[in-house]
Amino acid sequence: MLKNALQDLLPLLAKHGGQLDAVAFALLFILLLHYARAGLMGFAARWWRRRFPAPPAEPVPPAEPLPRRALPARGERVLSVRNALKRFGGLVAVNDVSFDVNAGEIVGLIGPNGAGKTTMFNLLTGTLRLTSGRVEFLGRDVTGMSQRLIARAGMSRTFQHVKLRPQMSLLDNVALGAHARAGAGVLGAGLRLDRREEAQILAEAQRQLERIGLGDRAHELAGSLPLGTQRILEIARALAADPVLLILDEPAAGLRRKEKLALGELLRKLRDEGVTILVVEHDMDFVMGLADRLVVMNFGSKLVEGRPAEVRANPQVQSAYLGGAGESAGGDAQGATVDGAAGTPGDGTGTGVAGS
């Protein structure tokens, strides 16, 4: 509308006004981006907040804690993956992968780009369905379960790209993570019959914010935080679900060195408190110094598993990260293949697939 108005108005103001409409519009557009990034209504809302500031937010009142699940004893098997296979049409993205995760440890799932790590995470959490294989969580077969039921069972995750509500406060973002622990339905919430439960959820969200060191910023907007703090906020939201297993997809991506150190310290603290953690990470220095055990994937298959020092020294892992993985590890790893070639690895008919 503004551009059309300029095209009508400028010729009346200048002899060559018709040729200036693009320049004028570009200038106005730059001003809009600088002063009103949320649009004209966002600019008006910001002006209104400055003119009539809201009263200071009151601290979250104490409430009876939400029920918490008992964490398994350290060393007890939490997650068991057996012969996981995922096909997308004729391509195999995850190829016969098996590993375990035990209570009270941090396990890193690593590998080059396209190794199938995020696909594996999506299979574990119900985002994708296994073609074949089995996933057990706390001794229960969760293969084929919905994401909601898996989350209710005690498995929480974050995603590779930050998924927060930027116009909601830190407190409200974290409170969203506790919805699975609530029992009030739509009707009860609409009639405000859930006030006691809502107070419990907000108190739990405040507790998780304090757990990660953001308790004094509960009423700030999530969109105002830097990326590193947003990733830590996502972890707090996942913790609000009271998980047994916390699954983190590249939590250190885009973080500066100090932020990575703070994140590593937080994850080790959670492990010491009994939370089991499975993490995908590309930053080798970060994950090597963090994880108790590593599972390495390459071309959809499990390459090797072991302690960080053992994995670092493994020639197959070095080859996969430095290049030439198909030559040195192809026969052992049997990378992802086109259907019909899976039984003949190394004969030149298989095609590796980027599953991550």
What is the C-alpha separation between 288 and 186, in angstroms, rounded? 46
- Whether residue 249 has pLDDT greater than 80: yes
Q: Return the ∠ at Cα 244 (arms to 75 and 133), rounded to 5°.
A: 80
User: How far, CA to CA in Å, does 245 sit from each of 72, 193, 345?
Assistant: 10, 32, 35
Q: Is the pLDDT of residue 351 over 60?
A: no
As given in the structure block, the two tokens for residue 217 are 């910023």
What CA–CA distance (Å, rounded) separates 8 from 3? Answer: 9
For the question of whether the overall pTM of this predicted structure is more than 0.85, the answer is no
- Alpha carbon distance 17, 24 (integer Å): 10
Terminal-residue alpha carbon distance, the chain: 43
Evaluate whether 116 touches 297 at the Cβ level (below 8 Å): yes
Chain centroid to CA 293: 21
Give the lowest-confidence range in 17-21, 170-174, 256-260.
Answer: 17-21
pLDDT at 344 over 50: no
Candidate ranges 119-128, 222-231, 313-322; pick with highest mean pLDDT: 119-128
H or E element, residue 176: helix 170-176
Token pair listed for 89: 């049409």
Residue 225 vs residue 21, higher pLDDT: 225
* pLDDT of 331 higher than 50: no
User: What is the strand order of the sheet 140-141 is part of?
Assistant: 91-102, 77-88, 132-137, 140-141
Question: What mean pLDDT is predicted for residues 266-282?
Answer: 92
| Confidence at 355, pLDDT banded by 50, 70, 90 | very low
Please state the rounded mean pLDDT for residues 99-118: 91
pLDDT exceeds cutoff 90 at 120: yes
pLDDT at residue 182, as a whole number: 82
pLDDT score of 18: 62
- Report how far residue 182's alpha carbon sits from residue 178's, in angstroms, rounded to the nearest whole number: 7
Give the position of tokens 């493994």: 314
Confidence of residue 177 (pLDDT cuts 50, 70, 90): very high
Per-chain mean pLDDT for the chain: 84
What the block records as the tokens of 212 is 């990660």
Distances (CA, A) of 32 to 19, 28, 37, 47, 208: 21, 6, 7, 14, 38
Q: What is the mean pLDDT of residues 275-284?
A: 90
pLDDT at residue 322 in the model: 66
What pLDDT band is residue 17 in, cutting at 50, 70 and 90? Answer: low
Q: What is the pLDDT of residue 186?
A: 84
* Cβ–Cβ under 8 Å, residues 242 and 65: no
Summarised one tens digit per residue, pLDDT across range 75-88 is: 999 999 999 999 99
Mean pLDDT score, 35-44: 82
Least confident of 29-43, 121-135, 241-255: 29-43
Which pLDDT does position 149 carry in this prediction?
93
Higher pLDDT pick, 155 / 256: 155
pLDDT of 141: 94
Between 53 and 120, residue with greater pLDDT = 120
**How crowded is the C-beta side of 219, counted as CA atoms within 13 Å?**
7
Is pLDDT above 60 for 264? yes
Q: Report residue 50 as tokens.
A: 């400055």
| Helix (DSSP H) and strand (DSSP E) numbers for the chain | 15, 10
Amino acid at 232: I
| pLDDT at residue 126 in the model | 92
Would the pLDDT of 321 be above 90? no
Higher pLDDT, residue 78 or 16: 78
